[in-house]
Chains A and B, each alone.
Chain A
Amino acid sequence: MPVTSFRLPPLLLTRRDALIGGAGAAAGLLLSSRVGAQTKLQITEGNFAPLPIAIPNFVAGSPADAEVSVGVAQVITNNLKRSGLFAPIDQSAYIEKITNIDLPPQFQSWKTINAQALVTGRMTRQSDGRLKADFRLWDVASAQQLTGLSYSTSPEYWRRIAHIISDQIYERLTGEKGYFDSRVVFVDETGAAERRVKRLAMMDQDGANVRYLTRGADLVLTPRFSPSTQEITYMEFGQGDPRVYLLNIETGQREIVGNFPGMSFSPRFSPDGQRVIMSLQQGGNSNLFVMDLRSKSTTRLTDTPAIDTSPSYSPDGARICFESDRGGKPQIYVMPATGGPAQRISFGKDSDSGGSYSTPVWSPRGDYIAFTKQGGGQFSIGIMKPDGSGERILTSGFHNEGPTFAPNGRVLMFFRDPGGNSGPSLFTVDISGRNEQKVPTPGFASDPAWSPLLS
């Protein structure tokens, strides 16, 4: 029988271990063996592919609700698809037909078509004539309900129910607030290029429910929403100088903001909705002023022999970013909301061939300032951090201008004019630069401003 010496070491080790004994050593061994057995895997690369989601038509409580049940599912599908973060699966691929949303769906049949999330819902008419929507969001892989909510409203507002449900789905699956239950105010443009009629118009963020707010007799520019979404401030060329107006959406009432000599323009609400900040023309210059809407008192914020305009508050109301040509070319500056020293944040890479910045707007999330950049014969839309770092151009071309943030700060809307006899249209782009989409409008459209969430 071969007993070789090399077999000894294990035995010696065993004996030594045995002699060590002791609870402490035993604990140590236990720990080390656990660490040894637990394999670690690091995943640092995923993909930015949109999430496959199935949105079957909602179940109709009665035959009369069939149309709205289909409509709600379509609006949700369209919203999620346009966001670029979801890939709604075509309904023709569905295997299971949802007939009762109070029973768990057959997850295997949704797995088969590669759906990762599933939305089921039901529309019912209540005895008082109101419309009720119940919906459930399911995680297909884990077969669990993620959200289940119920809403009711009068039947004509069924689209808002669809937008609110879209926001719930978006929020649960991305962890960020949605932006679908919101509106956009813009300048509607019709007629030939030399005799353009410009009207103030408002629509849902998806282009539905267009309403005209002015008749088009006078030129309107730069409409902006109040935080309450009930009012709009804008500039209108009336009989005399252009002035800043305030318009109540529900009542249609409008009033001039302040009575200043010379032109007032480029208005915007403060985040609390109590003040309007704007530019006032003084000779060849313009400076920034803020007016308290209740006391009507006006405070001067800048006093420079330059054109200071396009002010926009940070979401906390503590700072203001604005455009000024005090350094030669228009650039973006940031200063305290009470005035004071302004710090230039835009510099541009090639100061010779252009690189002027305008129309800054602070993200509702606070992390970025979006701008229009002009240089090299192109107009671009970009974002940078409030300290001027991390500049990123999202789109470039003949003419892109006037960015406005979606309520969640994830998407920008802007207008693009291809030049020639054509006119401007509205577009959205993700702040990552992905997913550029045209926004449907009845005619040409410019100067969009996105409202906060309506609810």
Chain B
Amino acid sequence: MKVDKTLIASVALHVLVIGWGLISFSTRSLEAPPQESMPVDIISADQLSKITAGIKTGEKDKPKPLVEKVADAKPAEDAVGKITEKKEIVTASAPEPPPKPVEKPVEKKPDPPKPVAESKPKDEPKPIEKKPDPPKIDPIAEALKSEETKKPVPKPEAKAAPPQPPKPKQERTFDQSKIAALLDKRDPTRQSITGAALNSSASLGTTHGNAVTLSQSELDAMRARLASLWNVQPGVDHPEELFVTVRIRLNPDRRLAAPPEVVSSGSSPRYQAAADAAVRAVLQGQPYTMLRQETYDQWKYMDIDFDPKQMFHS
């Protein structure tokens, strides 16, 4: 039998090509490498430009970006936030704002309950009177006060050195940053380059122009800590009404800078109890040691939602 050689060659070639394709394509794993999840914030172009903006005239070998001012000031809308913020915007030489004057617990006695000699005919004890609340003692302010004394003095170099201007060049050079400065008529304080710590020497900026972000693991650890401390009552009616949001302000030492503020609203006694439970968890959880110092900007202000709804779905 006569066989066409070209046919054989053609068949062989096809088999080869198809076979190779089958093997190579089928064995090629298409799985994507697992990506670490991360919280995403939408920021404005303006913010992007401020994130570790380098200065072109900076020295190449400077590892840290220029920081003229301790990052702060940005988050502020409500009046309360603004006030507290003002205290925080300090040049590093200024001491921490003194805590609010608090009456020492021992010095002030609450009014003793007034004796009531009320005779009742029956065996019905009745609430006779409500006593005035004793003075409120703010343990956090107390703690702050004591902490203030041992607080390390801010780094001397930061307070002494005013922001160093980039090294003047003798020869006339085209300096883009100066054009930018001329064009930019905005409030100069908002132009300060922000960071976690003051650094007066300019650099070219880091290769990755990212500010340090809160990692998912930090948030997870904080979430786990709060979940372990959050007491929820079993068998409550309408748990969806017990959604509580607590706003906190943290100090760099990872403790609360002020008592937690409940920013959600509700008026029922059940809601009040739920809000108390949430605040208790937040107070107990400090210090939040899982938060990294570098990300302080992002955990300085936090809104924590306590939502018991899912716990009652079973």
A interface residues (Cβ-Cβ under 8 A, vs B): 1-3, 7-8, 10-11, 13-19, 21, 28-51, 84-85, 102-104, 107, 116, 126-128, 130, 132, 134, 136, 139, 141-146, 148-154, 156-157, 160-161, 164, 171-176, 365, 367, 410, 430-432, 434, 454-455
| Complex contacts, B45 vs chain A, CB 8 Å | 13, 16-17
What CA separation (Å) do A160 and B307 show in the bound complex? 37
Does the CB pair B184–A18 fall under 8 Å?
Answer: yes
Query: Is residue B276 contacting chain A, with contact meaning CB distance below 8 A?
Result: yes
Query: Is residue B226 contacting chain A, with contact meaning CB distance below 8 A?
Result: yes
Which 8 A-B pairs give the minimum distances between C-beta atoms? A175-B273, A175-B270, A46-B230, A153-B125, A432-B235, A37-B75, A141-B283, A46-B232
Q: Which A residue sits closest to B124, measured CB to CB?
A: A455
Q: Which residue of B186, B204, B271, B284 is within 8 Å of A175 (Cβ)? A: B271
Does the CB pair B234–A150 fall under 8 Å?
Answer: no
| Complex contacts, B196 vs chain A, CB 8 Å | none
| Complex contacts, A173 vs chain B, CB 8 Å | 273, 276
What CA separation (Å) do A107 and B105 show in the bound complex? 11
Contacting chain A: which of B14-22, B29-37, B48-56, B150-158?
A: B48-56
Q: How far is the CB of B209 from chain A (nearest CB, A)?
A: 8
Does the CB pair A127–B233 fall under 8 Å?
Answer: no
Query: Is residue B212 contacting chain A, with contact meaning CB distance below 8 A?
Result: no
Q: Which B residue sits closest to A146, measured CB to CB?
A: B276
What CA separation (Å) do A30 and B78 show in the bound complex? 11
Q: How far is the CB of A10 from chain B (nearest CB, A)?
A: 4
Query: Is residue B261 contacting chain A, with contact meaning CB distance below 8 A?
Result: no
What CA separation (Å) do A5 and B257 show in the bound complex? 44
Does the CB pair B49–A3 fall under 8 Å?
Answer: no
Given contacts A11-B180, A18-B186, contact A430 B234 (CB under 8 A): yes
Q: How far is the CB of A180 from chain B (nearest CB, A)?
A: 13
Query: Is residue B100 contacting chain A, with contact meaning CB distance below 8 A?
Result: no
What CA separation (Å) do A130 and B76 show in the bound complex? 58
Q: Which residues in window 93-136 of B have CB below 8 A to A?
A: 105-106, 109-110, 112-113, 115-120, 123-136
Does the CB pair A14–B47 fall under 8 Å?
Answer: no
13 contacts between A and B (CB under 8 A): A7-B56, A29-B46, A34-B76, A39-B301, A46-B308, A85-B233, A102-B110, A102-B112, A128-B119, A148-B131, A150-B131, A152-B117, A176-B270
- Chain B, interface size category, equals 35 or more
Does the CB pair B227–A46 fall under 8 Å?
Answer: yes
Query: Is residue B26 contacting chain A, with contact meaning CB distance below 8 A?
Result: no
Given contacts A17-B45, A104-B105, A130-B117, contact A432 B234 (CB under 8 A): yes
| Complex contacts, B180 vs chain A, CB 8 Å | 11, 14-15
Query: Is residue B68 contacting chain A, with contact meaning CB distance below 8 A?
Result: no
The CB with the most chain A CB atoms within 10 A, among B49, B76, B130, B235, is that of B235
The CB with the most chain A CB atoms within 10 A, among B134, B186, B299, B305, is that of B134
Q: How far is the CB of B141 from chain A (nearest CB, A)?
A: 10
Q: Which residue of B135, B235, B284 is within 8 Å of A141 (Cβ)? A: B284
Given contacts A141-B280, A455-B126, contact A36 B47 (CB under 8 A): yes
Does the CB pair B48–A10 fall under 8 Å?
Answer: yes
Q: How far is the CB of A18 from chain B (nearest CB, A)?
A: 4
Q: How far is the CB of A190 from chain B (nearest CB, A)?
A: 28
Q: Which residue of A126, A127, A148 is within 8 Å of B130 (Cβ)? A: A148
Q: How far is the CB of B118 from chain A (nearest CB, A)?
A: 7
Q: How far is the CB of A57 from chain B (nearest CB, A)?
A: 18
| Complex contacts, B124 vs chain A, CB 8 Å | 153, 454-455
Given contacts A42-B305, A42-B307, A434-B234, contact A143 B117 (CB under 8 A): no
